[in-house]
Amino acid sequence: MQWLVVIHVLAAILGLGPAYAFPFLLRKASSIQEMERNLSQVAHLEMFPKIFGTLAVLSGLALFFIGSYGSFGQIWIMGTLIVYAIIEVLIIGFLNPEAKKLQSALSSQETKEKQEHAASLEPMYARVRNLHAWAGVLGLLIFILMIVKPH
């Protein structure tokens, strides 16, 4: 069971760790090229939360079911799963569509020709950054629930 704890903790760190950098990578950009570069960096790092976040959930459930952690209805386990579901809804339902719209707007020929459009895309860029920040805050809540384990 210790090896499963190690896998769970490492998966959580590797899964959520890079995600905390996303709002910083999406810092204020003054040009379309900067926005594209920042979004590209985030896109490359998104594989970590996808792969290791899923592994953390699966290993966590396995730990719960083979360990002696009490009933499934405890605040810490149910709260963690609910917060994880909220993060997924935030990412799949809001962040990904907004990021795709932004990518599409950035790659349009009209935008490439007119650099002044960078300012007009800033609100959409800021929404993507803020959604990443909210996902990070919710991820911290998961860590708190996992450490404190309130009953």
Q: Give, for all 151 residues of the chain, the pLDDT tens digit.
A: 899 999 999 999 999 888 899 999 999 888 888 999 999 999 999 999 999 999 999 999 999 889 888 888 889 999 999 999 999 999 999 999 999 999 998 887 666 566 656 778 899 999 999 999 999 999 999 999 989 987 7
Taking residue 115's Cβ as centre, other Cβ atoms within 10 Å add up to 12
Q: What pLDDT does 135 receive?
A: 95
Q: Is 149 left (phi over 0), alpha (psi -120 to 50) or beta?
A: left
Helix (H) or strand (E) holding 136: helix 117-148
Q: What pLDDT does 28 receive?
A: 86
DSSP character at residue 1:
-
Angle at 28 between CA 34 and CA 32, to 5 degrees: 30
- Distance, first Cα to last Cα, the chain: 23
Please report, for residues 7, 36, 63, 69, 145, the alpha-carbon distance to residue 79 in angstroms, rounded to integers and kept in the order given. 21, 36, 16, 15, 7
Q: What pLDDT does 46 receive?
A: 92
CB neighbour burial string for 43-71, b if at least 16 within 10 angstroms, e if fewer: eeebebbeebbebbbebbeeebeeeeeee
Q: What pLDDT does 113 receive?
A: 60
- pTM greater than 0.95: no
